[in-house]
Structure 1
Amino acid sequence: MTSEGTSAGTRGALDGIRVVDFTEFAFMPSVAAILGDWGADVIKIEHPTRGDGTRGLLSVGAIPTGAWNYSWELNNRNKRGIGIDASQKQGQEIIRRLVEEADVFTVSLRQSALCKYGLDYETLRKANPRLIYVHGSGYGEEGDERERPGYDIAAYWARSGIMASLAGEGQTPPFVPVGMGDLSASLALAGGIGLALYARERTGLGQKVSLSLLGMGIWGCAVPLQSVIATGAEYPFHDRKRAVNPLWNTYRAKDGKWLVLASFQSDRYWPGFCRALERPDLERDPRFIDVPTRAANNVELITILDDVFATRDRDEWGKRLDSEEVIWGPAQTFPEVMNDPQVLANGYLTDVDHPALGPIRLVRNPIELSEMPPVVSRTAPELGQHTEEILMEVGYDWDDIIRLKEEEIVN
């Protein structure tokens, strides 16, 4: 849905909820943006001159930001912006006044800084017992490394075991696309906030909600990690040439494009798979007749399948596999994803009218609510764009605002 298509009467699931967002970069700003998608009034706090560090990025990973800062727009949609210098006593007081009237406070500073500024949970809950206080970190709330800074590539991918599991013995662990851990964690944390708001409706009490990138990474790879816990054996690297189940493997088609077979119950799909390949001889071949024999002769079967898949383009194989209801998926590039008819049909990308850039397309929050769908109704704010109106909402008058600007407390 475009912002133009949002009617004045449309209500979001979080209409009437005010969120104060004091976060930077991707993980935690995305949490608040998701709440904004669901109708919350989100106030983004930034330093009055530097702003969020994302504003100054010339590239995200290896990709230049280009004509518009796509990371900033993605993670800060549906917010109003205010510039406050939190290092100053008066700036801290402004933040506390905002939080006193808020339902949710999202923050990503380290605990020592929060205590220094008087913005820690124990302090703020005394002023607002109904507050849902949300803290995101790299490595969790406890332990010797609770203050350690961490982006998703370090805390989510590397520390959790995911990165090493993708490399075979002696191979270089692969890098992964930027932000995958950040945005997965943000969606999970937004759900935790919703649960805390529901609990508040029942009890009248707020509480602290926290999530670390490390914790989300551990949960993301819970199945392989659980197998190691249960068996004591290292989780095996997937070598496609020696996959135990050749129907749980990747293959390259004639056009050079890859597909993945995901037939976990391979006996169930084996007859249809052989029909799709037009290789009825394989179905009754004693080397491949069931799970144990295919596992015992996996290298030989994978060699045969490599040769077969090299005879047709991926799209043609897709139609044949679909006709037999064999579970598979195309290993798409991102340019292919942005034009995927299924992606477009489900509205996973949304068009937004930007006041300075004109029409832009953003990736949309994928959670579907049938009566109150997520909507991008506001593009990311300019630095301090709504400072005056927000200050006036919490009791400051124009004389106060002029003084705070002259003292460089706000912008």
Structure 2
Amino acid sequence: MSDDTPLDAELPLAGLTVLDVSSFIAAPAAATVLGDFGADVIKVEPPGSGDPHRNSFQNPNYPRADVNFVWQLDGRNKRSVALDLKHADGRACFDRLVSRADVMIVNFPAPVRERLRLRWEDVAPVNPRLIYASLTGYGETGPDRDMPGFDVNAYFGRAGILDAQRTEDGPPGFSLPAQGDRCAAMTIVAAILMGLRRRDRTGQGGWVGTSLYANGVWSNGTLAQAALVGAFVEPRPPRTRPRNALANIYRTRDDRWVQLTLVREDKGWERLCRALDRADLPADPRFATRDARRANSAALVAILDAAFAAQDWAHWRRVLRAHEVTFGVVERLQELPRDEQARHAGIIAETTSPSVPYTINNPVRLGFARPRPAGAPPAVGQHTGQILREIGLSDAEIAALRAAGAAD
């Protein structure tokens, strides 16, 4: 699509009001995507510290930084209202917000939702047209429905992804921060859009939802489907003795790793041999057929290791491309800010926040719209007065709410 393609006058979700009544990552990230495309996202937070995710950048498993890069990513393009939902007056304000909203996103465990009266059946009488989206760790029903779930235990652990990453005689694999959360966020977005589509037709709101567990199994679908018919993958052999030497990684002379992905071996094998200047390999009986290459994978890896180690990554990038070999580089995140392709593809976006001038764009691309510029994320309760005035409260009433601790 050309950069000069005409864009719609309004973003596709302009006019929608979304209540982000959630914490941490997956559900708030879904609200971020809706805000990127024009929705008015109101983050409902408890007075004081607000969403605990505001402090996630201090997590010891996250990179060290002097700026709150995490909150820029998940808090952008939102307005914050701080209300105590346990206080009668705070709850009354919240119900007013619900009555005017199009979408409400929650991710608290079922017992918390029951205690705070945040279930679908609690808010539906206030606004029958509301699309109510819930994210859980393990699902809305069943013996584990009340268990707290994060992506590391529900998405990666329970779904079998970490077990499938085991190597021979090794422990399960490990996950990296929030990867499952961000995948689940896009499922929430899709569910909400389906709910809105139904409302367009019927005028009725309704419940939509997903779980981290469901998204993990879906992401692990090929192996999970095999398990349903009694088939299982054995733990992975080491890199030097892979199941397939042509779907393996190899180190270059300048310490980069090339990922070979020869899905069509019937074409790719001889192309690779030409790129390596090893015309003798296709005739070698150890590597003449697909089965032979599998049986002699360790010997083939030894040959490929020596070949790739003889040249720098720039050489292999040029030569493999020239011979139409399917490959990639195991990229270092330090290089992402300078990745020209990431900027062309809209993966990196500029912000209006001086402390975090660039952020990660959501992955949706539209021919008729661009996400709105990422603004600075709000402070806790930054827009409380503004939002409460919009639902009809006077300045005196707002002051009284603050004095009573119902709002901040």
Normalised TM-score (structure 1): 0.93
User: Where does 1:199-348 land on structure 2 (aligned, <5 Å)?
Assistant: 199-237=198-236, 239-348=238-347
The alpha carbon displacement at 1:65 in A equals 5.3
Q: 1:32 corresponds to which letter in structure 2?
A: A
CA–CA separation in structure 1 for the residues paired with 2:63 and 2:272: 43
Q: 2:358 corresponds to which letter in structure 1?
A: R
Q: Given the alignment of the two structures, is residue 159 of structure 1 paired with residue 154 of structure 2, yes or no?
A: no
Q: Given the alignment of the two structures, is residue 373 of structure 1 paired with residue 370 of structure 2, yes or no?
A: yes
CA–CA separation in structure 2 for the residues paired with 1:251 and 1:179: 28
Residue 395 of structure 2 corresponds to which residue in structure 1? 398
CA–CA separation in structure 1 for the residues paired with 2:227 and 2:171: 22
CA–CA separation in structure 1 for the residues paired with 2:337 and 2:234: 34
User: Where does 1:54-65 land on structure 2 (aligned, <5 Å)?
Assistant: 54-57=53-56, 59-63=58-62
CA–CA separation in structure 1 for the residues paired with 2:36 and 2:378: 15
Q: 2:193 corresponds to which letter in structure 1?
A: G
CA–CA separation in structure 1 for the residues paired with 2:261 and 2:237: 13
Identity %: 34
Residue 382 of structure 1 corresponds to which residue in structure 2? 379
The alpha carbon displacement at 1:260 in A equals 0.8
> Where does structure 1 differ by over 6 angstroms across 4 or more consecutive aligned residues?
none
Q: 2:397 corresponds to which letter in structure 1?
A: D
User: Where does 1:355-370 land on structure 2 (aligned, <5 Å)?
Assistant: 357-358=354-355, 360-370=357-367
Two-structure CA RMSD over aligned residues (Å): 1.8
CA–CA separation in structure 2 for the residues paired with 1:99 and 1:306: 61
Unaligned runs of 5+ in 1: 1-8
Q: Is the Cα–Cα contact under 8 Å of residues 245 and 291 in structure 1 kept in the other structure?
A: no
The alpha carbon displacement at 1:64 in A equals 5.1
SS of corresponding position for 1:21: strand
CA–CA separation in structure 1 for the residues paired with 2:188 and 2:237: 31
Q: Is the Cα–Cα contact under 8 Å of residues 227 and 235 in structure 1 kept in the other structure?
A: no
Q: 2:70 corresponds to which letter in structure 1?
A: S
Q: Is the Cα–Cα contact under 8 Å of residues 157 and 181 in structure 1 kept in the other structure?
A: yes
The alpha carbon displacement at 1:272 in A equals 0.9
CA–CA separation in structure 1 for the residues paired with 2:34 and 2:338: 27
CA–CA separation in structure 2 for the residues paired with 1:321 and 1:270: 12
Q: Tell me how many residue pairs correspond in the alignment.
A: 402
Distance 1:58-1:371 versus aligned 2 partners, 3 A rule: closer
The alpha carbon displacement at 1:305 in A equals 0.9
Partner deviation per Cα, 1:111-153 (whole Å, 9 max, x = no partner): 2222222221012112211111011111111112111112111
Partner deviation per Cα, 1:331-390 (whole Å, 9 max, x = no partner): 011112232221121121111122xx3561100112101111222343211111110111
Q: Is the Cα–Cα contact under 8 Å of residues 23 and 109 in structure 1 kept in the other structure?
A: yes
Residue 4 of structure 1 corresponds to which residue in structure 2? none
Distance 1:166-1:61 versus aligned 2 partners, 3 A rule: farther
Q: Is the Cα–Cα contact under 8 Å of residues 37 and 374 in structure 1 kept in the other structure?
A: yes
User: Where does 1:68-107 land on structure 2 (aligned, <5 Å)?
Assistant: 68-107=67-106
Partner deviation per Cα, 1:190-209 (whole Å, 9 max, x = no partner): 12211211121112111111
Distance 1:298-1:58 versus aligned 2 partners, 3 A rule: closer
CA–CA separation in structure 2 for the residues paired with 1:176 and 1:368: 27
Normalised TM-score (structure 2): 0.94
